[in-house]
Amino acid sequence: MSEEFKVEILNPEKSFLSRDDVTEIVIPAFEGEMGILKDHISIISFLKPGIIKIFFKSTQESYYVEDGIVEFKNNNLSILTSSIFNVKDMDKHKIEKILKKTEEDSNGSEISDQDKYLIDQKIDTLKSLN
Do 40 and 72 form a contact (C-beta atoms < 8 A)? Answer: yes
pLDDT in tens, 84-107: 999 998 888 988 988 898 888 888
CA angle 73, 77, 81 (to 5 degrees): 125
pTM for the full predicted model:
0.88
CA distance 48 to 69: 9
Report CA 127 to chain centroid distance, whole Å: 16
Strands (E), the chain: 5-11, 14-22, 24-29, 32-36, 43-47, 50-55, 60-65, 68-73, 76-80, 84-86
Q: What is the pLDDT of residue 41?
A: 95
Phi, psi angles (nearest 5°) of residue 48: -110, 165
**CA 1 to chain centroid:** 28
pLDDT of residue 23: 96
pLDDT value of position 1:
57
Strands 5-11 and 76-80 turn out to be parallel
Per-residue pLDDT tens digits of the chain, which is 130 residues long: 579 999 999 998 889 999 999 999 999 998 899 999 999 999 999 999 999 999 999 899 999 999 999 999 999 999 999 989 999 988 889 889 888 988 888 887 788 888 888 889 999 999 888 7
